[in-house]
Structure 1
Amino acid sequence: MKILLAGATGAIGRRLLPALGRDNHEVIALTRDPSRAAEFRRSGVQAVVADALDRTELLRATDGVEFDAVIHQLTALTKPPVRHRGMAVTNLLRTDGTRHLLEVAERAGARRFVTQSIVFGYGYIDHGSRSLTEDAPFGRPTGGPTAPHIAAMATNEELVLGSSALEGIALRYGLFYGGDPDPLPDLLRARKVPVTSGPDRPLAWIHLDDAVTATVAALDRGRPGQAYNIVDDVPASWRSVITAAAAAHHAPSPPVLPGFLIKLAAPYVAAMLNASLRVSNDRAAEELGWRPSHPGFTDGIRASVVGS
């Protein structure tokens, strides 16, 4: 297939480019940075320069460009958000950006549209001991400062999965870790990643390399109108993952802070730590033929250290 990759310079996007090529797909990279577009072209990749939030600019830049599918991996997260306002532009990319990309896809006569979603759409709450499947309520309003994030995730999926013109698929990723380059080791060495002394609940994670293989599988085999949880087999708490990563990278032990201090200094992180998310990847295994190569964070961290 010929694919328009929106977010080609992001954490997943820059890994998807070679992965899609290995799977015999042709990629058109969408970027708003002319210098990055020039880099793509020098490496033999077609590039389109446009801001996905500017509908007019995007339609003009893609006019006459032919492609069969869109992969929407756009975020504005150059670094992990610590405050809720750090999610504002990403929320817009999940609403207005998605609308604009769907319009571009329909105009180009594309068939398939794969969008990035996230398991926090189930809610930044304690879900208890149950394992969440894709049939669990997603995007349900809960109020509070996380409401805009959940609303944006819900809108993104509603637009894509509800499209009558395209085969829409949503990938609900867990928290990313690993990959190369990985910013976490430097943050750990600087002791900039705290853990909480309070309740430490399980969360859903996914190694970036496994997120890439799942995305390629969904492009080829995903069922139209379907969402898939793309997570490790084994949930793990924030404290477990961060402490293990620090030890593996020979970094100091992470600072341990009470929950109220984390909430003051990093309210978005505190909201994530408030969640308990055990998430099932059975549907992705069954329908996409995908399994994570790193079943749990211990395997993934070990692989990241060996590969660094």
Structure 2
Amino acid sequence: MRVFIAGATGAVGTRLVPLLVASGHEVVGTSRSEARLGELERVGATGVVMDGLDAASVRRAVLDAHPDAIIHQLTGLKGQVGDTKHFDQGFAATNALRTRGTDHLLAAAAEAGVGRFIAQSYTGWPNERTGGPVKTEEDPLDSNPTRASRETLAGIRYVEQRTTDAGGLALRYGNLYGPGNDIGRGGAIVVMVRARKLPVVGGGTGVWSFCNIEDAASATAIAVTRGAPGLYNIVDDEPAPVSEWLPELARAIGAKPPLRIPAWMARPLIGEHGVSMMTQIRGSSNAKANRELGWKPAWPTWREGFRTGLG
């Protein structure tokens, strides 16, 4: 197939391009920077410059590529780590790409007659914070999100709804870890853990689902040719509360155990959303992706991943 990857030089895109090329697909990948096109060409793809928020730029890139499938990996994830009090501000660029950028790509896909559309989404804190600790794709998203996360949740709802309405697949990645990520060697979260600046808040009862960055790419590569339209949680086999995974991450990187502080003390520092992520959020099940995509993570659990998959 001829596959067009919007955002091919991002965290997932850089792993995805070589997988698709190795599988025999012809890949056209986009970047906002001409300086990064060489990265794509070195692994066998064709690189093009595209501004995901410019409708004309998107239309031109897609029509010139004549793709059979489009993969939407456009994000602008910068500056939000550790600032949960201003969560939406950190995700403003990504929210625009999940809304306007999605519209531009879908319009171009319709004009070009593209038969397969796959979009990146996210699972974890957007889940409903009531009921059991692990949610499936059939469970609703949070109907009463924290004030700091409302715009970001709206962006997630938008990209998922528009994608599935168009007959596409929305892949909900869990919390990504691995080389070049915030949870990776030298990453922002690992640095915070080393400095004991990421404590367990309250009982640490917030449940997180993780996914190694390589596993996110492998699931996306599979989705090019497999899976019915709909939502898919791309996470490992073991959702876990903060009270379990955060001390294990510290142990894996040779850091001292995290501090523990009560929620009331943390709230002025990390806000309502930060406390929620530490104490209230739910994890996600990967059963549907296992069953319908035939995908199995190479790192089935974050326990092994933190020891061997951080880079």
| Paired AA for residue 102 in structure 1 | L
Aligned to 1:250: 254
1:80 deviation in Å? 4.9
Give the 3 Å change call, closer, same or farther, for CA 189–115 of structure 1 in structure 2. same
Aligned to 1:200: 205
Aligned to 1:137: 140
Whole-Å Cα distance in 1 between the matches of residues 123 and 141 of structure 2? 9
Q: 1:115 aligns with which of 101, 112, 119?
A: 119
More displaced stretch, 153-162 vs 259-268: 259-268
More displaced stretch, 142-151 vs 231-240: 142-151
Whole-Å Cα distance in 1 between the matches of residues 239 and 43 of structure 2? 38
Identity %: 36
Question: After superposition, where does 1:1-308 map in structure 2 within 5 Å?
Answer: 1-78=1-78, 80-81=80-81, 82=83, 83-84=86-87, 85-120=89-124, 122-123=126-127, 125-129=128-132, 131-138=134-141, 140=143, 142=145, 144-163=147-166, 167-179=167-179, 182=184, 183=187, 184-224=189-229, 226-267=230-271, 268-304=273-309, 308=311
Whole-Å Cα distance in 1 between the matches of residues 170 and 197 of structure 2? 32
Normalising by the residue count of structure 1, what TM-score does the alignment of the two structures yield?
0.87
1:239 deviation in Å? 3.5
- Asked if structure 1 preserves the Cα contact closer than 8 Å seen for 2:170 and 2:231, the reply is yes
Total equivalences in the alignment: 301
Cα-Cα RMSD: 2.4
- Asked if structure 2 preserves the Cα contact closer than 8 Å seen for 1:68 and 1:110, the reply is yes
Q: Secondary structure at the match of 1:115?
A: strand
Could you tell me which runs of 5 or more consecutive residues in structure 1 were left unpaired when the two chains were aligned. Answer: none
Could you tell me which runs of 5 or more consecutive residues in structure 2 were left unpaired when the two chains were aligned. Answer: none
| Paired AA for residue 20 in structure 1 | L
- Asked if structure 1 preserves the Cα contact closer than 8 Å seen for 2:11 and 2:180, the reply is no
1:294 deviation in Å? 2.1
Deviation string 1:29-65 (CA, Å, 9 cap, x unpaired) is 1111111124333554211112101212322344422
Whole-Å Cα distance in 1 between the matches of residues 142 and 169 of structure 2? 16
Whole-Å Cα distance in 2 between the matches of residues 89 and 96 of structure 1? 10
| Paired AA for residue 276 in structure 1 | I
Whole-Å Cα distance in 2 between the matches of residues 294 and 238 of structure 1? 19
Deviation string 1:72-117 (CA, Å, 9 cap, x unpaired) is 1221113553231111111111111111111222222211011111
1:209 deviation in Å? 1.9
| Paired AA for residue 252 in structure 2 | A
